[in-house]
Amino acid sequence: MRRKLAAGNWKMNGLGSALSELAAIAGCETRQTDLLICPPATLLGRAADTAAAGSCAIGGQDCHARESGAHTGDISAAMLADAGASHVLVGHSERRSDHGESDADVCAKTTAAWAAGLTAVLCLGESLAQRRSGDTLAVIGAQLAGSLPDGANGDNTVIAYEPIWAIGSGLIPEMAQIAEVHDFLRRALVERLGDDGDRIRLLYGGSVKPGNATEIFAVSNVDGALVGGASLKAADFKAIVAALDAA
């Protein structure tokens, strides 16, 4: 049985005053759902301290593939772990598009995350043009093959499917489209990794809100969500967690 996971990506949002929202999230009572918030790097240490009294894990939003070195402005996975993180996002579409990250880059970052003892939350997703051209599964399959190193399992890896065109747009794929991708990912993971592939949690991300969470969590092979804007407010995120708990 895979435990459910509700993860929040704050992106480039949040000052010290936002830690009150994190405190409310960390105090959320759940029966079968793990909680994860990925704040901006400036808040990592304080976020870890804030969440320590509750049940919420803290993650970074990105890491460098190297452990240390002359990489001004970058943060290594070891630094994230030292600041109190237990997870890190890798391969988010905004990193792939804004910073030109390739599948090979994401693969190297995933390996670095594992070496530092972090769980990698590996993001995959297609563009609207790729969706309309019928290439979604080919794109997702190529990203998975190129971004996920050998050795992945349910302890060191989470996979998040985020259709790029649904992120922050308010657009939601049809439930059958989400099911198609999540079922495809599960088959691909099991074929490659055996039982370890069946243990890896699959999250859906892309305009997840309290109003659509219940419907999304009823989809096969959806083990949770990677939430963007709705994770910035404790009330919204807790409503999503409640829907996941009830699924």
Residues annotated as part of the active site: 92, 162
Nearest Cα neighbor of 190 from 221, 168, 169 is 221
Residue 85's CB: how many other CB atoms inside 10 A?
A: 30
Q: Which amino acid belongs to residue 5?
A: L
> Under a CB-based contact definition with an 8 Å cutoff, are residues 88 and 57 in contact?
no
> Under a CB-based contact definition with an 8 Å cutoff, are residues 44 and 86 in contact?
no
Angle between helices 175-193 and 210-217 (to 10 degrees): 50
**Torsion angle defined by CA atoms of residues 66, 122, 47 and 76, in that order, rounded to the nearest 10 degrees:** 0
Q: In this structure, what are the phi and psi dihedrals at residue 119, rounded to the nearest 5 degrees?
A: -85, 125
Alpha carbon distances (Å) from 182 to 19, 28, 91, 199, 219: 33, 27, 17, 14, 9
